[in-house]
Amino acid sequence: MTTITEVPSPFCGIGSDDLTIQVDGVSIKVTENGCAINTPAFEEAIADIDPRVDGKMVSLDVAIKRAAKILKKANQSVIGGCATDVNGMRALMALADRNGAVVDNMNFTGAKRNFLAMQDSGWMNTTLAEIKNRCDLFVVVGCDLEAFSPQFYQRYLWNKESMFLKDTSKREVIYIGKAPSGKASTSPKKAKAKVLECADADLPEVMAVLRALVKDHPVSVDEVAGIKITDLKKIADKLKKATYGVVTWAAGALDFSQAELTVQMLCEMVKDVNASGVRCSGFPLGGKEGDQTANQVCGWQTGYPARMRFSSDIPEYDPFLYDINSMFANGEVDAFLWVQAFNSRSVPPHGGKIPTIVVARSGMVFEEEPDVFIPIGTPGIDHSGHAYRLDNVVAIRLKKLRDSGLPSTAEVLTAIEQALVS
Amino acid sequence: MLTKLTGGIVYDPANKINGKQKDIYIKDGKIVNKPRNADPDKEYNIKGKVVMAGAIDLHTHIGGGKGNIARMLMPENHRIDPVAHTDIKRAGTGHAMPSTFVTGYRYAEMGYTAAFEPAVLPVNARQAHMEMGDVPMLDKGGYVMLGSDDYFLRMMTAKKDQQAINDYVAWTIRAAQGVGIKVVNPGGISAFKFNQRKLDLDEKNTHYNVTPRDILRSLATAIKELGIKHPLHVHGSNLGVPGNVQTTLDSIAGVDGLPVHLTHVQFHSYGTEGDFKFSSGAAKIAESINKNKNMSVDVGQIMFGQTVTASGDSQRQYANHGIASPNKWVCMDIECDAGCGLVPFKYKDQNFVNALQWAIGLEIFLLVDDPWRIFLTTDHPNGAPFTSYPHLIRLLMDKSFRNDMLATIHPEAKKMTTLASIDREYTMQEIAILTRAGAAKITGLVGRGALGKNDWADITVYTENENREKMFEKPDYVFKNGEMVVKDGEIVKTVWGTTHVVRPEYDKSVEKDLKKYFDKYMTMKMGNFTISDDEITEDGRGSITVHPTVGEKI
């Protein structure tokens, strides 16, 4: 049995890198600094080792050849999931380029709300260490942060020491929209977060009014979506008095039509606060299942985030057209590759009667057996690698913790690409 | 295998060869003397063609987080310039901020064989190396950004001695796998986080009580004492501010003769004269550079057209967001380490300021005497995409072309520049110094930028053409480590360059305090911050080349 310290996690999105892990053969136990997300993700036992074709165990070589055959025959293949490490994503892009495939990250429908806002007007954002050391006012919009990240408050707001705040427990936390599901946002001195609750669908209106108040525009109603204007005005004033306010949201949680406009409203409000003479930053939450990694690698290799295609031999980006679910619904797909190296419960969406290849974490259970299933190792457990944290700046170096013999995403996808050529 | 390039006219300033007909022999990737009794396995008849070492861009934003934000910010700019995949090339996109593959292909197709990313945030260095790892054809390296990071500023406030600063600088350059150190708006990125919207050379960061002048001197001293060959790479204070010529002159005076490289100095050479309170400070800057032999500069020439500015200088980028075109922009505060700002720009020849910026850059090129201390850059993509270099070379080498261009710009700008009165035309040898020998020397590269015995065979062959733009945009051949990779301006083989680094010695005890700092204030462990060699080499394509510090033998 060996103990490994300072283990980084690709699962929680916040890049926790202080886990202590015990490895006994291929079984793993998180002994320190785990959480409800990281501990089960690390401790999940290996199930399958052998690839399957048509439900029958085969060698890796046979599975790869069959996968290549399916892709080669296709007029329009799609690669979904895209949940892997940097090298896995590099191999995925090379395969997609060669095969003329669509690349669609599984979280893009949420992330698209951020990209559309960013590509239209931009934003002013910050990263975790700035929050940890500077933030004195933290506003959470439309998201249950502790459900998203159980350790966020403990690590980045209620940290004992900070470089620029004398007393971190005096930080103020405000929720707009969803109320927190637990007490993580309550300060060590028992100060509860201020909550202005409203339905998600009302957030566009509420944020529009909050921005108007930040800009000192007259607002002629007394309340919006059940929230008193006087209460919103207090938040606007606090934002303009804070030393370093931070406004956070999770694009994935803003699940209503044209939520990108709400993201944009919020980002423009942050700019307005800066224009008023104090500092303020936005902080988009994400970073799970390799979504930032997929967008980063796709971004530097093609210039576009990870909902794009190579069908015409050039990279083309469209956040609406290349949504694989709508492509399935329109009957536009004749081969489907699902790549999910982190989460065995994240099964491929049902694409209809389409030849399907699944390259995924060992242990995935299917309602309908895919044509090809290749179990792979998990980055940060079975092989080393790199993954991006939610703030998109820090790439963590994932460690290899055990010898499972499972191939990496990159090895499998590169082999499929090579089989396409031969 | 022995390769012979026969009959070329060689410009090799590193070996004082100026336009002499000379055969070149290549074996095992390197240049060798003429062997006695060996016939070449492969011979290229390049009689009368111009031969230079592969070109080196010492300041170009090709890898790192802010560049990738710039890419994502501008999908419409990629749509106009798609690049299809071929049997040997990956698909990608151009224009202002091309994808990594296209960056490598297009540089190589212009005869470049190395490029250096000048703004590697230590905390984002992993990304810079991963992106550069996907840039084919070129050698690469990065200058690691310090000067607004809280650890350094805390040391300055605590008045830690120079030795402690040196140890921290050395630790950082090694941890981030860099080849040089850069400072961007010294202390200004940090000051912006404390809501200071500007920071003059002698203005104090309100929290740390430290001035940009203090920071410059401390870091430049560290570079010198550590023996890092590339001088402190300085993006000065007050970028883009009319009147900043004085800031730049004061900065030069403030470093007391220490070796310093002022980057994109065009953006730092503005006066406040004239009806529009914006004028050229080029003559003053050139005079100061000519006099102070410790200084070198690259220009950061602007070219007219659409681009996106990508800078670590969040403070100045924020100040300029009002002129974003198209109107969208990004600023970030980053990890108590640095920041960044992305602002799309459309430089217009009929805009007075832009037109004069164009002229100021050219004035600097033409007024700085010593070609070994000035370098050809557009600060890609900030002044213009790197693909405009052949056009820029023509502007430098061809006075009548330059004057034709000058005739087309905003008339008031034309009145405010002395460009028409400058007769200088760069020679072939001078271009070879700016883009090869000088660039290799100032970045401390051993065996590159030169065509002598034992130098790596990075070689570019051009057909002589009066139209220098046509000549330099399409070389006949490019050889990388002795292999032909470009023919008639097209990639014929994809290869992968090395990553250049330096590894100055330091006192390991610096890690004791750093570890505490990381545990207390940072969001990652010190051990996970450091980039290991295998992160660059494990994909089987990358490699690391360690260059010696002054006096060190490797």
pLDDT digits (tens, 9 = 90+) for B371-420: 999 999 999 999 999 999 999 999 999 999 999 999 999 999 999 999 99
Q: What is the DSSP string of A17-28?
A: --EEEEEETTEE
| Angstrom distance (rounded) from CA B397 to CA B391 | 10
All residues of chain A having their beta carbon less than 8 Å from the beta carbon of residue B541 are none
Decide if A106 contacts A289 (C-beta within 8 A).
Answer: yes
| Angstrom distance (rounded) from CA B265 to CA B191 | 22
Sheet holding A172-177, edge to edge: A194-197, A172-177, A137-141, A244-250, A279-285, A122-125, B329-334, B338-347, B305-311
Domains of chain B, each with CATH number or no CATH: 143-450 (3.20.20)
Provide the 10 A C-beta neighbour count for residue B88: 12
The answer to whether B75 faces chain A, any CB pair under 8 Å, is yes
Q: Render pLDDT for B124-144 as a digit per residue (tens, 0 to 9).
A: 999 999 999 999 999 999 999
**The CATH number fitting domain A48-107+289-421, selected from 3.40.50.740, 1.20.1250.20, 3.50.50.60, 3.40.50.970:** 3.40.50.740
Mean pLDDT, residues A395-406? 97
Range list for CATH 3.40.50.740 in chain A = 48-107+289-421
Put simply, the chain B residues between 230 and 289 with a CB less than 8 A from any chain A CB are none
Q: Render pLDDT for A346-389 as a digit per residue (tens, 0 to 9).
A: 999 998 899 999 999 999 999 999 999 999 999 999 999 999 99
The answer to whether B73 faces chain A, any CB pair under 8 Å, is yes
User: What is the pLDDT, as a whole number, of residue A393?
Assistant: 92
Identity (one letter) of the amino acid at A84? T
**Nearest residue in A to B532, CA atom:** A397
Residue A287 has pLDDT above 90, yes or no: no
CB contact under 8 A, A397 and B525: no
Q: Render pLDDT for B500-533 as a digit per residue (tens, 0 to 9).
A: 999 999 999 999 999 999 999 999 999 999 999 9
- Residue B22 tokens, joined: 């000379």
Residue that the structure tokens 């994809």 belong to: B494
| Angstrom distance (rounded) from CA A389 to CA B57 | 31
Decide if B234 contacts B143 (C-beta within 8 A).
Answer: no
User: What is the pLDDT, as a whole number, of residue A352?
Assistant: 86
CB contact under 8 A, B126 and A386: yes
Put simply, the chain A residues between 346 and 405 with a CB less than 8 A from any chain B CB are 384, 386, 391-397
Residue A200, Cβ density class (10 Å: 0-12 exposed, 13-18 middle, ≥19 buried): middle
Residue that the structure tokens 């040089």 belong to: B180
Q: Render pLDDT for B434-464 as a digit per residue (tens, 0 to 9).
A: 999 999 999 999 999 999 999 999 999 999 9
**Nearest residue in B to A388, CA atom:** B127
User: B222: closest CA among B254, B177, B260, B251?
Assistant: B260
CATH 3.40.228.10 is the classification of domain A111-285: yes
Mean pLDDT, residues B319-324? 98
What is the rounded average pLDDT for all residues in chain B? 97
How many Å separate Cα A373 from the centre of its chain?
24
Asked whether the ipTM of the predicted complex exceeds the cut of 0.95, the reply is yes
Per-residue pLDDT band for B539 (boundaries 50, 70, 90) equals confident
**B84, B90, B528 ranked by CB distance to A397: nearest:** B528
Range list for CATH 3.40.228.10 in chain A = 111-285
User: A391: closest CA among A317, A327, A295?
Assistant: A295
- Residue B182 tokens, joined: 């850069």
All residues of chain A having their beta carbon less than 8 Å from the beta carbon of residue B84 are 312-314
The SS3 of residue A6 is: strand
Mean pLDDT, residues A393-421? 97
The overall longest dimension of chain B from CA atoms, in Å, is 72
All residues of chain A having their beta carbon less than 8 Å from the beta carbon of residue B72 are 115, 118-119, 295, 299, 303-305
| Angstrom distance (rounded) from CA A144 to CA A175 | 9
Provide the 10 A C-beta neighbour count for residue A27: 12
Per-residue pLDDT band for B552 (boundaries 50, 70, 90) equals confident
The SS3 of residue B140 is: strand
CB contact under 8 A, B528 and A295: no
**A6, A97, A278 ranked by CB distance to B91: nearest:** A97
Per-residue pLDDT band for B554 (boundaries 50, 70, 90) equals low
Distance in Å, alpha carbon of B73 to nearest chain A alpha carbon? 5
Task: Map B475-511 to HEC letters.
Answer: CCEEEECCEEEEECCEECCCCCCCEEEECCCCCCCHH
Residue B305 has pLDDT above 80, yes or no: yes
User: What is the pLDDT, as a whole number, of residue B37?
Assistant: 80
The answer to whether A21 faces chain B, any CB pair under 8 Å, is no
Per-residue pLDDT band for B551 (boundaries 50, 70, 90) equals confident
Q: What percent of chain B has pLDDT over 70?
A: 100
Mean pLDDT, residues B341-348? 98
Q: Render pLDDT for B158-190 as a digit per residue (tens, 0 to 9).
A: 999 999 999 999 999 999 999 999 999 999 999
Identity (one letter) of the amino acid at B9? I
- Residue B463 tokens, joined: 């057909």
Give me the torsion for CA of B150, B156, B159, B162, rounded to 10°: 110
Give me the torsion for CA of A165, A170, A173, A174, rounded to 10°: -120
User: What is the pLDDT, as a whole number, of residue B271?
Assistant: 98
- Residue B527 tokens, joined: 């051990």
Task: Give A42's contacts (C-beta < 8 A, 6+ positions apart).
Answer: A9, A11, A19, A21, A28, A30, A34, A381
**Best residue in B93, B333, B340, B538 to probe A by mutation, most A CBs within 10 Å?**
B333
Q: Of A223-237, B77-91, B539-553, which range is least confident?
A: B539-553
The answer to whether B333 faces chain A, any CB pair under 8 Å, is yes
- Residue B420 tokens, joined: 């028409």
Residue B548 has pLDDT above 90, yes or no: yes
- Gap between the terminal Cα atoms of chain B: 27
